[in-house]
A and B are shown apart, each in its own frame.
Chain A
Amino acid sequence: MNAKGPIMSTPTSSSASKSSDTAAVTAADQFPAGLRVLVVDDDPTCLVILERMLRACLYEVTKCKRAEVALSLLRGNKNGFDIVLSDVHMPDMDGFKLLEHIGLEMDLPVIMMSADDGKDVVMKGVTHGACDYLIKPVRIEALKNIWQHVVRKRKNDGKDPDQSGGGDEGDQQLKGSDDADYSSSANECKSTKKRRDQEDEDAEDRDDSSSLKRPRVVWSVELHQQFMAAVNNLGIDKAVPKKILEIMNVPGLTRENVASHLQKYRLYLRRVSGVSQPQNNLNSSFISPYESAYNASSINGIDLQTISAHSLAKLQAGLGRSTAKVGVPMPLVEQKNLFSFENSKLRFGEGQLQHMSSNKPMNLLHGIPTNMEPKQFAHWHQSTQSLGNLNMRFNASAAQRNPFLMQMNHSQPRGQMLGENTGSHITRFPSSLVQPSGPNGISNGAIENGITDTNNITPQRSSLLSFPMNQTTDISASSFPLRSTPGISNITTKGMFHEEVTLGTKGSGGFFPSYDIFNELHQKSHDWDPTNSGLTYDASQHTNPLQGSFDVLPSILGHQDFSSAQQTAENRDTTLIGKGMVSMGDSMNLGNLQNVGQHHLNTSLIDNSARVKAEKFPDPSSQNNLFLEQYGQDDLLSELLKQQEGIGVGPIENEFDFDGYSMDNIPV
């Protein structure tokens, strides 16, 4: 063992310095010897061979035939392993699902293995956040280096995960993430997991077109649209960060930012396409009115993402009318709900909306797709039922995507916790997440209601949505969409006022999780933007904006971690709000919104949202879902916290900054 000293010294020191990982620290001197590996494979022959090979590398090996057993081992001993190797095809659980669980719950580096070397499968590994992908038969040489993933992850995490906008961290993380992402083959370690939220996001997105230390890059609606355009231009398969960056041609944007955003987006897409939950039961009730509206605009779901800014506007429009089946409806719905509910209350105020639109207008949009939204949207599409679907989907997707989220709701009142712990921002969220009652803001209550209603599945989600996050005025800063858009939050509460509204808020929450990462970064403030547009839409949308949004939100919220939720919530709210706003238009200060969103949101949103959404969502949701799941509770918290912080940082983030975003209002 010690023989490895020299070699190990390097990693050792890094790992030792990290000190965050106990195992590594203790075995620092011998690193990578003693690395605690958990290998999961249903094939006994492969399992024994791998075990033997890993032992030959001087690792400490635990082998496991079943994914469930592996998970319980990991859960039972959270710090007992450094890295996991898992087969892709297993009878009891899909390897990717296990990967997501691990990412969400334990945030350990996971390496996938398979005899299948098809591009699709490998890509799946990447999008699900695997650190690496090994083709079977695995050679010992391939195993000799797996320690690098551990170090890398630690390095990235060690930066100070909770640091939302830390300067130094940013640099380091950036580097780390860089390395992580690009240096190793399909090394997605850092991005996929929570880590991504915290660090990567920070690290990568931090580069907000300026120094690394800056707060994360805020993927505003416009920016996201540019991104989407670039991706579509290249084709999703060929969309590589470098090229996307070139096409986007945004000064100050780094490849890492794009890469991280792309990853999220892909997860979102994955989620969206994969998620089609039949939550309809709840949603249907809500959605019905909205559905009709949404049906027309399947885009809604999608739009949220892409459009963020636009979408909101569009969504709203769509929501009002067409019940975007897809994700879009939600935004609108939410917006509507939100707005209708409290149009006046919305703090949005024109200013806010404007902000939102400008900065992150589409946080919702962007974010959503990434984390939750995409899924949600996807759902929407699928449900076509307009809101009803959305809601359900959200729940479903949210639930699916984010097992964690669900967990959150169930297991812990994370929402609450968050709220309580994290502070205003977060608390909001938790409450929403956890319970409907969340004082956090109305949203919680609202959301919950909304969510529960709509989403049987995830009452929790709603909590997420409810976003306590934004309840407080802080929201503005926070990524929570809900928050950010004070208006939104208000809206949500308002809109949600009965459930519909919550959806919106919740929806966003739901979505966000996956998207949180994205959203967090930028969304924070922008969530509202979309809403702005939404608001502008006009009251006509009313019809079910609330409903629609409602549905959507819950799921969205559900998914996202808190942080994401926040963002998403925000984002979503924005979008939703936008939509809702639109519908609410009359009640709400559409006028205001209109003004605000108009320039920003309206144009973009409307145009894009309608169109974009449709497309976007399906994809993003998948991604979002992923995100959500990855988030896990802890992540959410951290995310939230981060967001909160981040949000605070950038005024823009909370363009909406509704402050007035008190979720409390949400009557749900």
Chain B
Amino acid sequence: MDRNHSHRHLAAMKQSLFDQGLLDEQFIQLEELQDDANPNFVEEIVTLYYRDSSRLISNIDQALKERNSMDFNKLDTLMHQFKGSSSSIGAKKVKAECNLFREYCMAGNAEGCIRSFQQLKKEYAALKKKLEAYFQFARQSGPSETACRPK
């Protein structure tokens, strides 16, 4: 019962992430890759993502500091990478922010880039928190939901 309950809760958490538009189908794809041999696959991937993307974030931050001579090409390249990474874990909102940023880049709009990036970082951080909570709860709930179905 407890387990079922927590699983349901977990499911609800996940559902809410989807409902809020924070995650998309790709996340489900990752979950489907999780099995007994790879029980924590999704969490591992997300951890890897946050670790690697923080590097990109700081690079972009650095590049954005050059207000006067912003290198839009470089920014675009960095953002392209970031977008690819984010989309691979299903970070929907973050990905949308990436697109917005790139638009500003192409338009050569420095202010727009800066603002958009601020927003992006917010979404990025928010998702991180929620996923951390989710995974923590999942670990506490025991084996993955797929492995343990409510009776």
Contact = CB atoms under 8 A, between A and B. Distances in A.
A264 B26 CA distance: 37
Given A44-B48, A44-B52, A45-B45, A137 B90 contact: yes
B87 A115 contact: yes
Interface stretch (A46-54, A242-250, A272-280): A46-54
Contacts of B38: 52
Contacts of A136: 84, 87-88
A140 interface: yes
A4 B125 CA distance: 43
Contacts of A116: 80
Nearest to B98: A115
A45 B85 contact: yes
Given A43-B84, A46-B84, A89-B80, A140 B32 contact: yes
A52 B48 contact: no
B97 to A, nearest CB: 14
B29 A43 contact: no
Contacts of B84: 43, 46, 87, 89, 114-115, 136-137
B89 A45 contact: yes
Interface string B5-43: 000000000000000000000100110110000100100
A56 interface: yes
Q: Is the interface of B mostly helix, strand, loop or mixed?
A: helix
Nearest to A90: B81
Contacts, number: 59
B25 to A, nearest CB: 8
Interface string A111-127: 00011100000000000
Which of B49, B53, B81, B88 has the most CB atoms of chain A within a 10 A radius of its CB?
B88
B89 to A, nearest CB: 7
A49 B88 contact: yes
A115 B45 CA distance: 18
Interface in A3-54: 42-46, 48-49, 52-53
A139 interface: yes
Contacts of B81: 42-43, 89
Interface in B77-118: 77, 80-81, 83-85, 87-90
Nearest to A49: B88
A49 B83 contact: no
Interface residues of B, number: 23
Given A140-B29, A140-B32, A45 B52 contact: yes
B112 to A, nearest CB: 21
Contacts of A53: 29, 33
Nearest to A115: B84
Nearest to B37: A55
Interface in A167-208: none
Nearest to B32: A140
Given A43-B81, A115-B83, A116-B80, A139 B89 contact: no
A46 B33 contact: no
A139 B81 CA distance: 18
A116 B88 CA distance: 13
A140 B52 CA distance: 23
Given A43-B84, A46-B84, A46-B88, 12 more contacts: A44-B52, A45-B45, A45-B49, A45-B85, A45-B89, A46-B85, A48-B45, A49-B45, A115-B83, A136-B84, A137-B84, A138-B88
20 contacts: A43-B84, A44-B52, A45-B45, A46-B85, A48-B45, A48-B48, A49-B30, A49-B45, A49-B88, A49-B89, A52-B33, A52-B41, A87-B84, A89-B80, A115-B80, A136-B87, A137-B26, A137-B88, A139-B26, A140-B29
